[in-house]
Amino acid sequence: MPPRNDAALEFLKTRRSRPAKTLQAPGPSRAELEALLEIAARVPDHGKLEPWRFVVIEGAAMPKLADAAEQASANAGEDAEKTAKARAQFDMGTCAVAVVVSPVPSEKVPEIEQVYSAGAVCLSLVNAALASGWGANWLSGAPSHDRGFVEGALGLAAHESIAGFIHIATETAPAPERPRPDVKAKTTWV
């Protein structure tokens, strides 16, 4: 039996995201990010298809994406509030990693399982960042579903999609706790 890892259990029991709007520079260096991505890629992956990839957004790319997100939202006919929100995600950010679902044709592994694996990458990246002492938050937002934005500004192919933008930087305020599920009510024992 593998030995009990109390530090890991304590981390998992108490982990919580840090709202992106409370994060500020500095963010991780390229070497630190590379280490986080190595950890994030260590996830269950049916058929070893590796059906995901990363787009790291840093430095001047963040305000450029803010402009593109604003434009995409306006093009989609969204109101001023939604358009400002679309922009804000990248305006307020220091560094973000787009986790891209990049499905691989497979007779054995349905696409939804490949999307689950990309979701696992997102959570692992958040957890790796939190465990390293960074603040981190998994966001999507309207632009992440806008084909013009994801293909034009992030270079996704037609078959790819965004599983999440993982924002990583220094936390500035204590993270608020949020209501947690009543696990007993959500569990059936058979």
Distance CA 116, CA 123 (A): 11
CB of 68 to ligand FMN, least distance (A): 17
Question: Should residue 140 be labelled a site residue for ligand FMN when binding is judged by CB under 6 A?
Answer: yes
3-state secondary structure the chain: CCCCCHHHHHHHHHCCCCCHHHEECCCCCHHHHHHHHHHHCCCCCHHHCCCEEEEEEECCHHHHHHHHHHHHHHHCCCCHHHHHHHHHHHHCCCEEEEEEECCCCCCCCCHHHHHHHHHHHHHHHHHHHHHCCCEEEEECCHHHHCHHHHHHCCCCCCCCEEEEEEEEEEECCCCCCCCCCCCHHHCCCC
* Binding of residue 137 to ligand FMN (CB under 6 A): yes
Choose which of 35, 41, 115, 138 interacts with ligand FMN (CB under 6 A).
138
Interaction of residue 145 with ligand FMN, rule CB under 6 A = no
Amino acid at 147: R
Q: Is 16 in the site for ligand FMN (CB under 6 A)?
A: yes
- Shortest distance (Å) from residue 9 CB to ligand FMN: 16
CB 138, min distance to ligand FMN, A? 4
One-letter amino acid at 112 equals I
Residue 25 bridge partners (DSSP): none
Per rule CB under 6 A, is residue 141 in the interface with ligand FMN? Answer: yes
Q: Please report how close the Cβ of residue 74 comes to ligand FMN at its closest, in angstroms.
A: 18
Which residue, 49 or 139, has its beta carbon nearer to ligand FMN?
A: 139
Q: Does 139 help bind ligand FMN (rule: CB under 6 A)? A: yes
Residue 92 binding ligand FMN, by CB under 6 A: no
173 binds ligand FMN (CB under 6 A): no
Question: Looking at 58-66, 71-79, 131-139, 152-160, which segment touches ligand FMN (CB under 6 A)?
Answer: 131-139
Binding site for ligand FMN (CB under 6 A): 16-17, 137-141, 164, 178
